[in-house]
Structure 1
Amino acid sequence: MSDRPRDDAFTTPHFESAALVVIDVQNDFLDGGSSPVPGTSDRLTTMRTLIEAFRAARCPIVHVIRLYEGADVDLVRRAALLAGAPIVKPDSGGAQIARELLPSPDVQVDAALLLSGALQPIGDREHIMWKPRWSAFYRTTLQRSLADWGADTVVIAGCNFPNCPRATIFDASERDLRVVVAEDAISQVTSDRLADALGLGAVAMPARDIVTALRVAS
């Protein structure tokens, strides 16, 4: 399934200026959660390996999460949530990021801070960010933050490729960012879904190759 970096001056990843965007890896979306996404728990070890490599390279990491409260949610989920569906509610255990991915077991999501639009720092060049819809760029400061960090390449990992990762990939492409899909660190990846991303100029790589590329770049 992998598509190795191509000899293209405009789409080839720059790993020396890459940021990792980890999407929606929260307890409610894991096995045993209130709204589990198949395959997400199985990919936690690979996600952790990728995150640790970005920490070692001192490259930016953004854990992008959902917090469902009131009517500020996707239309397709609004009826269920207004009826009281207990999914990633602010300050709930289900809204917390999978502990395997955190720099410290003491880290807790600060819902009030995130819902205000601010980033929550949790480590050296590592933050949590809330997004209200599918894409990590919609009504967030992600684009500005990437520019501030000098990042022109985003590596996408996390939960449920056909929804939030795919929307983020499309929006990253619209912003002229180089995009890497960590194909074995995202749940619900299929060949057809991945082909859509590759058609936009994204590059698909397994986590082990991304880790190697980071080491070479640093």
Structure 2
Amino acid sequence: MSKDVFERDRKFYQEHGMGGRMGFGRKPAIIVIDLQLGFTDATCPLGGDLDRVVASCKDLIAAAHQKQIPVFFTVCAYEEHLKDAGVWGRKVPALSWLKAGTKWVEIDPRLGKTPEDITVVKKYPSGFFGTHLQATLTSMGIDTLIITGCTTSGCVRATCIDALQYGYHGIVPEECVGDRAEAPHLANLFDIGQKYSDVVQLREVMDWIAKYQPYE
């Protein structure tokens, strides 16, 4: 499946008033969705080949650190009894692999996480639902979220929708998001870009960060 299959749809959406640009705001944060070993290590049933996504995110995170841009890492982790997974645990039984304290909930070490970065433990797709993310972003005066990670069709999409609903400028560098399969990745990336966030090339984000001056 190729991105070219969406060209006709993109034209249709644009003709009907969709697919505009929000652009960057004044104060950004990086949100890294679920790039934990349970998703980036293919030996876990929930995992997939996300090496290119991890490499791209590593570069983005390093650039953010240089500019003192806050970086948030979300992690899906559950208690042994899985009661905190709710009905999602029945819909996706493989969530039972993501037990707190196991290696599968550890953030991929290739990403270069630092002690200053903020970890958000979540139970459901959106990084906002039932977490401290929104309160922390508000306290820091953040207005722009550069959303990365996995999966495009699940937790990335859910976080993009909530970011929009909370009033953030959502930016998705397409090299920095991934999925287990190409079709849901491309379809959801297209839909996110038409309705919820600006889907852009990583180079555009890196160029913007290079020019960014911290705003207090």
Query: TM-score, normalised to structure 1's length?
Result: 0.79
Higher helix share: 2
What per-residue deviation string (whole Å, max 9, x for no partner) do you get for residues 148-174 of structure 1? 111101011011110000000001111
Tell me, which stretches of 5 or more residues in structure 2 are unaligned? 4-9, 11-18
Instruction: Name the SS of the counterpart of 1:199 in structure 2.
Output: helix
Does 2:29 correspond to 1:19?
Answer: yes
Q: Kindly tell me the number of residue pairs found equivalent between the two proteins.
A: 191
Using the TM superposition, give the Cα deviation of residue 216 of structure 1 relative to its aligned residue in structure 2, in angstroms: 1.0
Q: In the alignment, is the contact (CA less than 8 A) between 1:27 and 1:33 conserved in 2?
A: no
What residue in structure 1 maps to residue 173 of structure 2?
A: 182
Does 2:20 correspond to 1:29?
Answer: no
Q: Percent identity?
A: 22
Instruction: Name the SS of the counterpart of 1:25 in structure 2.
Output: coil
Pairing partner for 2:143 from 138, 152, 173: 152
Aligned partners of 1:17 and 1:65: how far apart in 2? 23
Q: In the alignment, is the contact (CA less than 8 A) between 1:31 and 1:41 conserved in 2?
A: no
Q: In the alignment, is the contact (CA less than 8 A) between 2:153 and 2:185 conserved in 1?
A: no
Tell me, which stretches of 5 or more residues in structure 1 are unaligned? 105-121
What residue in structure 1 maps to residue 16 of structure 2?
A: none
Using the TM superposition, give the Cα deviation of residue 41 of structure 1 relative to its aligned residue in structure 2, in angstroms: 2.7
Q: In the alignment, is the contact (CA less than 8 A) between 2:29 and 2:146 conserved in 1?
A: yes
Instruction: Name the SS of the counterpart of 2:41 in structure 1.
Output: coil
Does 2:45 correspond to 1:50?
Answer: no
What residue in structure 1 maps to residue 158 of structure 2?
A: 167
Aligned partners of 2:103 and 2:192: how far apart in 1? 33
Pairing partner for 2:206 from 199, 202, 211: 211
Instruction: Name the SS of the counterpart of 1:180 in structure 2.
Output: strand
Q: In the alignment, is the contact (CA less than 8 A) between 2:145 and 2:169 conserved in 1?
A: yes
Using the TM superposition, give the Cα deviation of residue 95 of structure 1 relative to its aligned residue in structure 2, in angstroms: 1.1
Does the C-alpha gap of structure 1 residues 85 and 135 become closer, same or farther in structure 2, counting only changes over 3 Å? closer
The residue type paired with residue 12 of structure 1 is G
**Where in structure 1 do 4 or more consecutive aligned residues deviate above 4 Å?**
none
Aligned partners of 2:171 and 2:92: how far apart in 1? 33
Query: 1:4-153 to 2 correspondence within 5 Å?
Result: 11-14=22-25, 16-69=26-79, 70-73=82-85, 75-78=87-90, 81=93, 87-103=97-113, 122-123=115-116, 126-153=117-144
Using the TM superposition, give the Cα deviation of residue 35 of structure 1 relative to its aligned residue in structure 2, in angstroms: 2.5
Aligned partners of 1:145 and 1:91: how far apart in 2? 24
Using the TM superposition, give the Cα deviation of residue 19 of structure 1 relative to its aligned residue in structure 2, in angstroms: 0.5
Using the TM superposition, give the Cα deviation of residue 78 of structure 1 relative to its aligned residue in structure 2, in angstroms: 3.0
The residue type paired with residue 139 of structure 2 is D
